[in-house]
Structure 1
Amino acid sequence: MGDEHWGPERVRAHAPDAASWAAAQKLSRSAAWSGLGRLDQLLWGRCQGSGASPYRTSVDLQGPAFTCSCPSRKQPCKHGLSLLLVWLADVDGFGETTDAPEDALARARQRAARTTAAGDRPPVDPEARARRVAKRVALMDTGMVELRQWLTDVVVDGLAATRSRPHAWWDLVGARLVDAQLPGLADRVRSLPATVAGHDDWASLLLGELGRLHLTVAAWQRREDLDPADAADLRTFIGWGRSSAEVLDGRRLTGRWTVLGIGTSDTGRVVEQRTWLHHPEEGHAILLDFAGGNTTPPTPQLLGSVLAVEMGVYPGRPPRRVRFAEEPLTVGEADELPMAGEGWGPALDAVAALAAEAPWQDRFPCTVSGVRLVDADVDTPRVIDRSGRALPVLGLDPWATLAVTGGRPVTMFGEIVREAFRPLTVATDGQLLAVPVVQEATRWQERWA
């Protein structure tokens, strides 16, 4: 038998469903396995499936963490469960060896290094930390009081008066918010002059932003009564970040993550790279990378790739932010997008359901099928469905996009930003392609995103 801490019941507890458990038991009694090995807490083997090449499967008992090259979206798959059962039935068949697969060995070393680093971290002085938090909260309380008064003054003076305000007026408010440890709110106030000057419907957009700031002040004053997910989103919105260690010490989720689309935004100070992912259990999630100064964001994951990886999940409402807890392993390639239904109706209903639960989020993932690009020769191209319903689009190069789609109805994935659609990916002819982006930074769409 294997390790005394392991047994068939413990393996069964990791099965995602009864079918996977039954398939794993059947597979463990077959002759499909070869190349079995063990190094410390790492097991591996090759399992011959229906394809020409056997699946490469490994299990890190420290966790456990499962990895397999098969196309199954279940985590763990039947091969990972079966490998454990084979090991339990014949531990001598897993001879100690150093001939471990490099990818599995590298991932196991990363997990061991994180465990060691976590154990080596000096203990946090809870009293000192409490004093630091209390000092920051006191500053934030003061900042929220000042923001509420400023919002009242803006409404009393009238929205029209904001059009004559110099940038220095907005910057002064932003600076006060930075001093109050509210950098997220400072950035939003400093972006308001562009809203006032850059849109025909500036009054409704400005009123919406001011109302959101007022909601933030009110929620902060009642933060102790908020749901934990809402409190987490509020914290992100005001700019109170979380350390990587804090995220990785919290909820984690393993499985297969499909790369749906990649978008970027440049504020002039910071470049933000957004990688949208889809997980069978979590649904949509977003991976954020930032770069400032002369640096560039890391090389993004390949569009359409399926990653087997463990993620740290940020608290908050869906769609949640995630970060890699280990190096991802590409185990497949997607040829289609998760469907939300035909046309804008069901797609926007899904977005509305997300937005109703997450008032402090700005972008929402959206997959829409049966749509095509129109009005490529005007300043505001649109994506229209078969019923005639359309949304203005942001950021794309219309003529290059028409070259990709051929003007035919396709399935698109992108972001809903305010009341517009920013396409990132198009599914056509059995493959996922990035939507060509506009190169002129001065186009009107860039002011929206």
Structure 2
Amino acid sequence: MTEQGVRWTADQVLALAPDAASRKAGSKLATAGPWSGVASGEGTVWGLCRGSGGRPYRTVVDLTGPAYRCSCPSRKFPCKHALGLLLLWAGDEGSVPASAPPPDWAAQWLSDRRARAETRRTPAEGGSTTAGPADPEAARRRAERRAERVTAGATELEQRLADLLRGGLVSAEQAGYGRWEETAARMVDAQAPGLAARVRELGAIPASGPGWPARLLEECALLHLLGEGWLRRDRLPKALVDTVRSRLGLPGTADGPPVRDRWLVLAQHDTADAKLTTRRIWLHGAESGHTRLLLSYGAAGRAPELALPVGLALDAELSPHPGGGRSRAALGERFAPPAPAAFRPPGVTTAEAAAGYGDALRDDPWLDSVPVTLDRVVPVPDGERWQLADADTDSALTLSRATRDRPGLWRLVALSGGAPVKVFGECGHRGFTPLTAWPEKTGEAVPLC
């Protein structure tokens, strides 16, 4: 098929939406009525969408990204007009015909975007693709000063944890959340945002339900281990030091050699707090067999710009980040638009998934979960909980509490219909969180989040 002939499914387009409201609004624009001048060509789809003003919105999508440009005032990426245009293109083949080169307004954006991408790929003088610091000595001094602040913060945190245990865990319930927030602020001052985030999580545990003292003690132990890991980092292997640094929130960059592969987009899901939206995109390499994580961020109220359609494959390079047991990578050069993939990731049993998480904890004791694809599992109720039970063994994994409150659970149950399915998700101490599923024999990937 030609580049323009590779059309995505509606589910793959809707998986790019930043939220449910955008999915709903974009679906309403997936008809020819509000559109004019719609066409595709050169890896691009464009069109004019009638809006509330006198001028139609100019919307263009670069399928190689995908990337989006719309003249509407929305702060969402992609906006409802880009989603509607992609849904129109993904539907009836005749609704978005192939055309001559795009109009000037679309061609200019496309040219500027690809020129910037080419500039980033062009090696700087000396053969490096990444510009180094302007003053290496100044950068070294800054790193040393930050390390000193982090050391002071970790030392102070160790003392506060000792005071908590000396006074008894009941004191944590009586002190309220303000004490934890003040400690977290001290960790922010120490330039250790990872420690601050974990301290804030501790503050939510006291009086959170039956068994909270045991949960608090477990989390205090992990926080103590992280602080001690930093303070005694000179005794640790490099991979574990890299993991400690990343858990503390210290900056790091991809340092491994780039790996070119056909990367299947396994899942994409967002988590948000008051300050930041974090997007997690899981990829699986057809040749390398590696499963890698891309992280993208958006300010509060804004979706991250990076979005990839679930179930399609991306011909691209990924560079891994340092750290023992970590699977994070940076997306490098992309060589073609995302295209349909005939392969699926290999799967394991639920027992093997649980054992794999246990093995990963040796390299990263603070690891919440690992990416896992389960083969031939069936969602079954277990009282108030749900499990994924192996169709061929007597083992099962309990679904995480967060999953039981999502509509994706019922989508998974409907897809299965009591028959085995292949499921990709995250397996950890809170249970298994399903993110994508495939029917056992054939069929497209179904996003569950």
Given the alignment, which residue of 105, 109, 115 partners 2:118?
109
1:146 matched residue in structure 2: 156
Instruction: Answer yes or no: is the 8 Å Cα contact 2:230–2:245 preserved in 1.
Output: no
Distance of 2:129 and 2:258 partners within structure 1: 18
**Is 1:221 equivalent to 2:231 in the alignment?**
yes
Structure 2 distance, partners of 1:308, 1:435, is 21
Two-structure CA RMSD over aligned residues (Å): 2.8
Equivalence map 1:47-446=2 (5 Å): 109-110=118-119, 112-113=121-122, 115=124, 121=131, 124-242=134-252, 246-247=253-254, 250-279=256-285, 280-281=287-288, 283-327=290-334, 329-330=336-337, 332-335=339-342, 337-341=344-348, 343-375=349-381, 379-386=384-391, 387-393=394-400, 394-395=402-403, 396-397=406-407, 398-428=409-439, 429-437=441-449
Q: Separation in 1 of the partners of 2:356 and 2:216? A: 26
The change in CA–CA distance for 1:140 and 1:203 in structure 2 (over 3 A counts) is same
Determine what percentage of the aligned residue pairs are the same residue: 29
Describe the superposition over 1:66-105 as per-residue Cα deviations: whole angstroms up to 9, x where unpaired: xxxxxxxxxxxxxxxxxxxxxxxxxxxxxxxxxxxx9xx9
Give the residue type in structure 2 aligned to 1:333.
Answer: P
| Cα offsets for 1:275-295 (capped at 9, x unmatched) | 111224362110011112232
CA gap 1:375/1:125 in 2 versus in 1, 3 angstroms:
same
State the distance in 2 between where 1:120 and 1:401 align: 43
Contact 1:257 1:308 survives alignment (8 Å): yes
The answer to whether the 8 A contact 1:139-1:181 is kept is yes
1:270, 1:290 within 8 Å by CA — same for their partners in 2? yes
Distance 1:169 1:350 in 2: 37
Q: 1:107 deviation in Å?
A: 10
Pair 1:325–1:160, CA change in 2 (3 A): same
Change in CA separation of 1:193 and 1:330 when aligned onto 2, cut-off 3 Å: same
User: Which residue in the other structure is 1:15 paired with?
Assistant: none
| Contact 1:305 1:330 survives alignment (8 Å) | no
Number of equivalences: 328
- Unaligned stretches of 5+ residues in structure 1: 1-101, 438-449
Which residues of structure 2 form unaligned runs of 5+?
1-110
Q: Of the two structures, which has the highest relative contact order with CA contacts closer than 8 Å and spacing of 6 or more?
A: 2
Check the 8 A contact 1:340/1:346 in 2, yes or no: no
Counterparts of 1:313 and 1:435 in 2: how far apart (Å)? 25
* Distance in 1 of aligned mates of 2:245 and 2:374: 31
1:330–1:319 Cα change, 3 Å: farther
| CA distance in structure 2 between the aligned counterparts of 1:372 and 1:260, rounded to whole angstroms | 19
Is the contact between residue 281 and residue 293 of structure 2 (CA under 8 Å) also seen in structure 1?
A: yes
Distance 1:409 1:334, change over 3 A: same
Post-superposition offset of 1:329: 2.4
SS of 1:320's equivalent in the other structure is: coil
| 3-state secondary structure, aligned to 1:229 | helix
Distance 1:374 1:178, change over 3 A: same
Conserved? CA contact 1:264–1:273, under 8 Å: yes
1:335 deviation in Å?
4.8
Q: 1:119 and 1:155, CA in 2 relative to 1: closer, same or farther beyond 3 A?
A: closer
The aligned residue for residue 27 of structure 2 is none
The runs of at least 4 aligned residues of structure 1 exceeding 4 Å deviation read 105-108, 116-123
Displacement of 1:316? 1.3
Describe the SS at the equivalent of 2:345: coil
For normalisation by structure 2, the TM-score amounts to: 0.66
* Structure 2 CA distance for partners of 1:278 and 1:186, relative to 1, 3 Å: same
Q: Give how far 1:435 is off.
A: 4.2
The amino acid of 1:434's aligned partner reads V
Classify the secondary structure of the residue corresponding to 1:256: strand
Q: Which amino acid aligns with 2:420?
A: P
- 1:124 CA drift (Å): 3.1
Query: Letter of the aligned partner of 2:201 in structure 1?
Result: S
Contact 1:148–1:217 under 8 Å retained in 2: yes
Give the Cα separation in 2 of the matches to 1:268 and 1:434.
29
Structure 1 residue 109, shift from structure 2 partner? 3.1
Letter in 1 for 2:317: E
Q: Deviations over 1:208-232 (max 9, x none)?
A: 2111111112111221232222111
* Cα distance in structure 1, aligned partners of 2:179 and 2:335: 46
Larger Rg: 1
